[in-house]
Amino acid sequence: MQVSPERAVTARGGIGGTGAASPPSNGAPRRRWRGGWRSLAAWRVPIVATCAALAFLLVQSVGQYFYGESRVPASVSAQLARSGKADIAVRLGFVPESFNLTYLSGEGNVAQTKGDTVYMNGVPGSSVRAIAGQYWVRAVTSWNGS
């Protein structure tokens, strides 16, 4: 039996001489992706891990904001309400190291250090909350700036 070129099965699995599969006879569009759900299963673990990491970072940043907000005393909040900036004393519970001083100087103007306390001038409100939210900060109190 001889098969016409239009009906011949090509190497790619389609019918016809062009190598492409013919569209379904019911008029539905041709489905090109043939990986099925098995190829999506390979992406399941990386997608879930990425979503979990993003959720963790979101919870951590929101938690740090509220934790820092709860640790700012009323005297510092009053200074922030008046001028938008505050002079604060940051007590660490240990002698500050270079990392601590670098972080604090990035958040505001470090005026001096005495023992385990770092004194800062003109710290904006968002930075006060960020400093108070650090796990290595024992307390944030008001300071008169001199």
Per residue in 2-56, pLDDT tens?
655 555 555 555 555 555 555 566 766 666 656 565 667 778 889 999 999 999 9
The answer to whether domain 64-142 has CATH 3.30.70 is: yes
- Give the whole-angstrom CA distance, residue 124 versus residue 72: 13
pLDDT per position as a tens digit, 97-120: 999 999 999 999 999 999 999 999
**Closest by Cα among 72, 92, 73 to 138:** 92
Cβ atoms within 10 Å of 13's Cβ, excluding its own: 10
Q: Where are the domains of the chain?
A: 64-142
